[in-house]
């Protein structure tokens, strides 16, 4: 389940975004809309959003400060910013704040869909992006949920399409096709993505060696793990550990605290 908070004074934009969610995603719930960043922050005091879509059109630094305060309270929230027109200063701040995406109005369906897709993947959840725009039945939702649960519970083992198909009691080719159509990436790609995200978490928050981290996320070959890790993160595991170990808060908080 992905909990979404929309914060924009423009009703048309909020309606447009909700239509994107309704047409292409499922397993999503919305909190009551916020009309401003201040109102979004007030909502966050009582609710825990997984995704925040925040309108920063014509905004001052105050809006970004509200966004930072929301992230301080909910460090795992993924943020998409939308703006009335391209603003270089806002783009720089969005990058420094670690926003998933920065979208400029008029909002475009494909750009919104892609941004939402990346945000949900960053949450280590199934995107459930319905690429073929077929109706998604409760049976399909249940099948997708079972597949994702299997990956999240067994990612550190030698899992593959054969083991997933056996678990689901389904044909391997069907499972492969269904997984890619439903999740938006192949089974192999998703397992790799999920393993590396778990490795990042261990490198940041534990004293385990890189070899121990590799083994805990399912890679017995350290060289292969290092190669995959760099491909996914642009860092070697050792570089990532040196840069991020002990850092439990998103980059935007450190940035904000260093500039206020």
Containing 251, the helix (H) or strand (E) segment is helix 251-257
Please check the confidence at residue 160 and state whether its pLDDT lies above 60: yes
How far apart (Å, rounded) are the C-alpha atoms in residues 154 and 150? 6
Q: In Å, what is the CA distance from 19 to each residue of 16, 53, 213? A: 5, 14, 41
Average pLDDT, the chain: 82
Note the CATH number of domain 189-244. 1.10.10.60
**Which pLDDT value is given to residue 201?**
83
Contact call for residues 155 and 195 (beta carbons, < 8 A):
yes
Task: Band the pLDDT of 227: cuts 50, 70, 90.
Answer: very high
Which residues pair with residue 82 across a beta bridge? 55, 103
**Residue 85 pLDDT level (bands cut at 50, 70, 90):** confident
pLDDT at residue number 108:
94
C-alpha distances in Å from residue 238, one per residue of 91, 176, 192, 199: 30, 34, 18, 12
| Torsion from C-alpha of 132, 136, 141, 143, nearest 10 degrees | -60
Where are the chain's structural domains? 2-122, 138-185, 189-244
Residue of 153 and 135 predicted with greater confidence: 153
Say if CB 6 and CB 30 are below 8 A apart: yes
C-alpha pair distances (Å), 172 with each of 2, 21, 79, 150, 175:
28, 29, 36, 15, 5
- Give the integer Cα–Cα distance in Å for 245 and 236: 13
CA dist., res. 179 & res. 183, Å (int): 6
Helix, strand, coil fractions of the chain, as percent rounded to 5: 55, 10, 35
CATH class of the region 2-122: alpha beta
Common-topology check for domains 2-122 and 189-244: no
**pLDDT digit string (tens) for 237-249?**
999 888 877 654 4
More confident residue, 125 or 172: 172
């Amino acid at each position: 389940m992905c909990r979404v908070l929309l914060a924009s004074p423009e009703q048309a934009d909020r309606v447009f975004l909700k239509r994107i969610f309704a047409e292409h995603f499922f397993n999503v719930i919305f909190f009551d809309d916020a009309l401003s960043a201040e109102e979004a922050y007030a909502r966050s005091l009582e609710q825990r959003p997984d995704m925040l879509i925040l309108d920063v059109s014509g905004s001052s630094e105050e809006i970004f400060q509200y966004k930072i305060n929301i992230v301080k309270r909910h460090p795992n929230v993924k943020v998409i910013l939308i703006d009335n027109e391209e603003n270089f200063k806002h783009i720089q701040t969005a990058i420094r704040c670690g926003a998933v995406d920065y979208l400029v109005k008029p909002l475009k369906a494909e750009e919104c869909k892609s941004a939402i897709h990346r945000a949900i993947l960053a949450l280590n959840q199934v995107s459930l992006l319905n690429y073929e725009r077929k109706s998604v039945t409760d049976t399909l939702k249940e099948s997708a949920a079972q597949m994702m649960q299997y990956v999240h519970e067994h990612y550190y083992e030698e899992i593959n399409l054969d083991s997933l198909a056996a678990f689901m009691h389904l044909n391997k080719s069907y499972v492969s096709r269904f997984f890619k159509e439903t999740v938006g990436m192949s089974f192999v790609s998703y397992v790799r993505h999920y393993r590396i995200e778990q490795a990042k978490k261990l490198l940041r928050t534990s004293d385990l060696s890189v070899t121990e981290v590799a083994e805990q996320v399912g890679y017995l070959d350290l060289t292969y793990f290092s190669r995959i890790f760099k491909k996914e993160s642009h860092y070697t595991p050792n570089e990532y550990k040196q840069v991020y170990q002990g850092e439990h808060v998103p980059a935007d908080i450190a940035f904000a605290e260093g500039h206020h």
